[in-house]
Each structure stands twice: as structure tokens, then as C-alpha cells.
């Protein structure tokens, strides 16, 4: 059999979504990435194919003839893959070998909190197999067949939303930044360090204002990561100070990889919810996973409460 010469899957998904929506912005929302990322992926695909798929105008894009022909085939292919995946999941739930639970979750929550605890769930419930999809596209993933979602944000209309926990936010940094001539023992020394942002720099602006920070600290400066994981990992590496919440930073703080240099903690506008479709047949394992997740968060609550206090956090020795 001849070797297939296929473009990258990420580029194909970006193009198909952009063509289906007629918008890079809406495609970005569906795939939980930035419009810039969609634009780069489409451009990469055009370069791989050696032809234009979109005509670009100031405020809109239009498919070329080649793009129209290509997306028709791609959409059918993705629909076939989606149907085959749904059928396989359905079969897996009833074959007696175990039950697959498809869970979509905020990527930062997966990497910084959930992943470390899944071994406990698996040891307690060996017949239930979590399939974790790290994505912020909660509504789209549930419509696509996911059984439940762990969602950071606000309640979503038309879906069952159960509050798991409220969160607050505060600066975190490597303990190495607490030493040296510009040690983070005073707000004034923030001007000597890099501020790390997750999507919205305004969090830093609000926090600095509430903390009464001195003039001269530019809260807009510093790299912006559209991923809490990247922001936290950069802070752990000692390359700046990140804004984080208790769930995302808690394990790092307890392990001593991060510290909370200043006491001020502000309530977050968003919260963490367990989300599921309304009605329909839900796998029995959903109730089991829900109970386990609520128990794990309850066990974590004492640390969360400690971090939410308006004083620096000192790891127990």
C-alpha cells in the first residue's frame, strides 16, 4: 500500500472549522484556540498544498473554489470519524469489559490538579476508564459526545451546572525570587521582575491597584500565555511571577515549587463547575466520578482555604 501524504491534522481541523463557520474567530472558539492560531494553521495548510483556500478581506474571509471543493470532502471525512467514534464509545460502554467516561476539562485543571489524582480514581474504580479531553470548548465537546465537563467560567445556559468550588487569585513565583537584591519581599521590587499573564493582563492591573502597589510597575508588560499551564511552568522555572488560583497553583505551592510572596487574595469572577447535558441516558459511571471528584476537592479544601487568606502561604515543614 502506498504511503499516505496527508497534511497535519491540526491544520485540517482549523481549516474545516473556519470554512464551516465562515469565520476564523468562531473556529477558534470551537477549537479552544486563538484566531491567530487558526490563521497560522490555515496558512500552513495552504503552504503544504501549494494553493489558496481562502480569499482574505479586511473583515471577512471567503473560500476559493479550491477551498469549497476541499472542505466538502473534509467535512464528510470528519463526520464519518465522529460517527465511528460515537459508535465505538457506545459499544465500549456495553461490552462488559468496562465503561468509558468521556470527560472534557479545562486544560490547566487537567495538568495542574486532576492528572495527579486520576491514579486514585482508577485504583478505586478499575472498571471505569476516564477519557480526558483537555479543552475549554465545553458546549461543543458535550454536543460531540462527551459525558461531562469540568468547566472554568460561568454557568452555561441549557446545561446542568453544579458548582464545584469558587476560586480566588494571587501572585505566585519560584522561591528563588525571594532571595537576592530584588527579593520579592516588598511590592516595590515587582518592577524588577517579569509579570506573566494568562490571556488577560487586567488581572495584574486589578491586583496591583488593590494591593496599593507603588507607581512605576507596568502591569501591561510581560509575556501573555493563552494557557495557565505555560504561565505556571514559566513561574516554576523562575522566569517571572504568575497570577494563579488555588486549584491551578495549590499542588506546586504545597510541594514548595512555588510560593505566594504577597498576602492579598482577590475573589475570581469565575468558578469551577461540573457540567453535563440535560436529559438523555447518562452512563452509571458518571455518578461515581462525580462523587469521587467532589470528595477530592473536599480533601483539598483546607489548603484552598489557607491560600485564600490575605497573607503569604508558608508550606508546612
Instruction: Retrieve residue 33's grid coordinates.
Output: 484556540
Per the CB < 8 A criterion, the answer to whether 262 and 309 are in contact is no
Distance CA 56, CA 16 (A): 16
Q: How far is CA 145 from CA 83, 88, 291, in A?
A: 10, 11, 21
Residue 214, SS3 per DSSP: coil
Instruction: Retrieve residue 135's grid coordinates.
Output: 479543552
Per the CB < 8 A criterion, the answer to whether 64 and 76 are in contact is no
Check residue 196 and give its pLDDT: 95
Check residue 98 and give its pLDDT: 67
Give the end-to-end CA distance of the chain in Å, rounded to a whole number: 62
Check residue 25 and give its pLDDT: 86
Look at residues 42, 24, 48 and name the one whose alpha carbon lies nearest to residue 34. Answer: 24
- Name the stretches of the chain with pLDDT < 70: 1-3, 85-98, 280-282, 317
The residue behind cell 487558526 is: 38
Instruction: Retrieve residue 98's grid coordinates.
Output: 468496562
Check residue 95 and give its pLDDT: 46
Check residue 96 and give its pLDDT: 43
Q: Which residues contact 156 (CB under 8 A, 6 or more apart)?
A: 138, 139, 273, 275
Per the CB < 8 A criterion, the answer to whether 133 and 146 are in contact is yes
DSSP H/E element including 202: helix 202-211
Domains of the chain: 9-89 (1.10.10.10), 98-317 (3.40.190.290)
Amino acid at each position: 500500500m502506498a504511503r499516505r501524504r496527508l497534511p497535519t491534522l491540526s491544520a485540517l481541523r482549523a481549516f474545516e472549522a473556519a470554512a464551516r463557520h465562515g469565520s476564523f474567530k468562531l473556529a477558534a472558539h470551537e477549537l479552544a484556540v486563538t484566531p491567530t492560531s487558526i490563521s497560522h494553521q490555515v496558512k500552513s495548510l495552504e503552504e503544504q498544498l501549494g494553493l489558496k483556500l481562502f480569499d482574505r478581506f479586511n473583515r471577512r474571509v471567503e473560500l476559493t473554489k479550491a477551498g469549497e471543493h476541499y472542505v466538502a470532502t473534509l467535512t464528510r471525512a470528519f463526520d464519518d470519524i465522529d460517527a465511528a467514534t460515537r459508535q465505538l464509545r457506545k459499544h465500549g460502554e456495553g461490552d462488559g469489559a468496562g465503561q468509558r467516561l468521556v470527560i472534557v476539562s479545562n486544560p490547566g485543571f487537567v495538568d495542574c490538579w486532576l492528572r495527579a489524582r486520576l491514579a486514585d480514581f482508577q485504583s478505586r474504580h478499575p472498571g471505569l476508564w476516564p477519557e480526558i479531553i483537555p479543552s475549554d470548548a465545553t458546549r461543543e465537546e458535550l454536543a460531540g459526545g462527551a459525558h461531562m465537563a469540568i468547566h472554568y467560567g460561568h454557568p452555561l445556559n441549557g446545561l446542568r451546572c453544579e458548582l464545584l468550588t469558587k476560586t480566588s487569585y494571587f501572585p505566585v513565583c519560584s522561591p528563588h525570587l525571594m532571595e537576592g537584591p530584588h527579593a520579592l519581599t516588598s511590592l516595590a521590587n515587582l518592577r524588577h521582575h517579569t509579570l506573566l499573564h494568562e490571556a488577560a493582563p487586567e488581572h495584574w492591573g486589578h491586583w496591583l491597584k488593590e494591593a496599593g502597589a507603588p507607581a512605576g510597575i507596568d502591569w501591561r508588560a510581560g509575556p501573555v500565555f493563552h494557557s495557565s499551564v505555560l504561565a505556571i511552568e514559566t513561574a516554576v522555572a523562575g522566569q517571572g511571577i504568575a497570577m494563579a488560583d488555588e486549584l491551578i497553583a495549590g499542588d506546586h505551592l504545597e510541594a514548595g515549587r512555588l510560593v505566594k510572596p504577597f498576602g492579598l487574595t482577590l475573589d475570581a469572577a469565575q468558578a469551577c463547575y461540573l457540567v453535563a447535558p440535560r436529559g438523555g441516558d447518562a452512563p452509571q459511571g458518571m455518578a461515581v466520578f462525580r462523587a469521587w471528584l467532589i470528595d477530592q476537592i473536599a480533601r483539598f479544601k483546607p489548603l484552598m482555604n489557607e491560600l485564600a487568606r490575605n497573607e503569604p502561604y508558608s508550606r508546612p515543614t
